[in-house]
């Protein structure tokens, strides 16, 4: 069955990528549930383990946001939502960012206070299968379990996030990277406790919290900018999306167009395009020509879903010149 986003039917390649992304997110959510339970049972009084446990709970948000948002984005436009439901992806991005930022602030304060109070977290012994051993080894084993799968899951999601232009999927891949780095930092903190360096546990927790806080602030900045109709950017928000330039270049190739300037906003997986074109002298922008222009833009990329071409006399009062 061909996947779709609103009225946009995905090609076979993108449809297969979307199906794979959904499966990966289901697997991720199920795995993170087991990780949360495992860390909760093993964390004891370790501050680093506590930070890892909270981060694992936060890691449930991006896959849940992706699954809910992707389901909503597939709905066709309605009279009440004439632009479709693509913004559900942006809402999911915002929810994930706020959760990350809030918990990052909490963990920074909690870990810093533990370090200032010079708390010495004890790690005792546990009995398992009739054997008594240091509980730190159990903590380390749990961290290995929670850290290895995210390393591979995150790497598998990155190319899909780019292909589908899905910022929630990219944020989740980023969260998976934070998960395995958190696991590594927690192992170091537990080993520090075992060596008698009590401060190592709180220091590791503080580094984990700072990483969560940084990711939350970064994602919140990009999520709010997108909802404020910032010009379309790449899936990782590193630069303006090159499709804006390609749209104008394609429209300028039409024989009846002398110049073009477009504004493109990110709706989620797809873009809304408003292209303003200056017709050549003595060239009338007929209905057939305008339809031809719309078709030419849509042929550039499947993400160019909603395209409007407007003939104008002067571009100076339409869209700010990006090169100015």
Least confident of 102-106, 163-167, 298-302: 102-106
- Band (pLDDT 50/70/90 cuts) for residue 289 is very high
* pLDDT at residue number 186: 77
Summarised one tens digit per residue, pLDDT across range 31-47 is: 999 989 988 887 776 66
How confident is the model at residue 159, as a pLDDT?
92
In 10 A of CB 177, how many CB atoms?
A: 18
> Where is 137: in which H helix or E strand?
helix 135-164
Cα separations (Å) of 29 from 57, 153, 168?
10, 11, 14
Cα–chain center distance at 182: 18
CA dist., res. 293 & res. 295, Å (int) = 5
- What pLDDT is stored for residue 291 in this prediction? 94
Per-residue pLDDT band for 133 (boundaries 50, 70, 90) equals low
Residue 231 forms beta bridges with which residues? Answer: 265
Tokens of 126: 């546990």
Position 21 scores a pLDDT of 93
Give the pLDDT confidence of 15-35 residue by residue, as tens digits: 999 999 999 999 999 999 998
pLDDT, tens digit, 9 for 90 and up, residues 198-214: 676 677 777 777 877 88
pLDDT of res. 22 = 93
The overall average pLDDT reported for the chain is: 83
49 within 8 A of 204, measured Cβ to Cβ: no
- For residues 117-138, give the mean pLDDT: 66
pLDDT at 300 over 60: yes
H or E segment at 193? Answer: helix 167-194
Look at residue 276 in the predicted model and tell me its pLDDT: 94
Residue 250 has, within 13 A of its CA and on its CB side, a CA count of 20
Looking only at the bridges linking them, the beta strands covering 271-279 and 257-266 are antiparallel
In the chain the domains, ranked by start, together with CATH numbers, are 4-227 (1.20.1510.10), 243-311 (3.30.70.1350)
In the block, tokens 């719309």 appear at 294
- The pLDDT of residue 88 is 84
* C-alpha span between 189 and 197 (Å, rounded): 9
DSSP 267: -
CB-CB contact of 167 with 157 (8 Å): no
């Amino acid at each position: 069955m061909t996947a779709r986003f609103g009225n946009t039917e995905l090609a076979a390649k993108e449809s297969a990528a979307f199906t794979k992304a959904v499966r990966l997110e289901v697997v991720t959510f199920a795995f993170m549930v087991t990780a949360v339970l495992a860390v909760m049972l093993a964390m004891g009084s370790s501050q680093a383990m506590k930070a890892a446990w909270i981060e694992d709970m936060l890691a449930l948000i991006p896959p849940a946001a992706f699954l809910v948002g992707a389901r909503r984005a597939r709905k066709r436009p309605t009279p009440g939502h004439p632009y479709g439901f693509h913004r559900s992806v942006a809402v999911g991005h915002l929810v994930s960012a706020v959760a990350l930022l809030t918990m990052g602030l909490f963990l920074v304060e909690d870990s810093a206070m533990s370090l200032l109070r010079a708390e010495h977290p004890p790690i005792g012994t546990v009995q398992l299968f009739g054997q008594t051993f240091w509980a730190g080894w159990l903590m380390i084993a749990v961290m290995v379990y929670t850290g290895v799968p995210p390393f591979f899951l995150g790497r598998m999601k990155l190319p899909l996030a780019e292909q589908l232009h899905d910022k929630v999927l990219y944020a989740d891949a980023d969260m998976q990277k934070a998960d395995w780095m958190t696991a590594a930092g927690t192992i170091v903190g537990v080993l520090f406790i075992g060596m008698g360096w009590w401060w190592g546990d709180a220091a590791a927790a503080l580094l984990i919290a700072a990483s969560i806080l940084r990711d939350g602030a970064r994602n919140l900045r990009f999520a709010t900018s997108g909802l404020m109709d910032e010009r379309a950017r790449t899936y990782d928000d590193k630069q303006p999306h090159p499709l804006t330039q390609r749209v104008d270049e394609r429209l300028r190739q039409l024989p009846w167009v002398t110049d073009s300037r477009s504004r493109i906003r990110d709706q989620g997986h797809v873009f809304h395009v408003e292209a303003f074109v200056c017709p050549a002298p003595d060239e009338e922008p007929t209905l057939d020509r305008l339809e031809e222009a719309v078709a030419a833009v849509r042929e550039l990329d499947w993400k160019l879903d909603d395209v409007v071409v407007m003939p104008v006399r002067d571009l100076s009062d339409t869209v700010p010149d990006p090169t100015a």
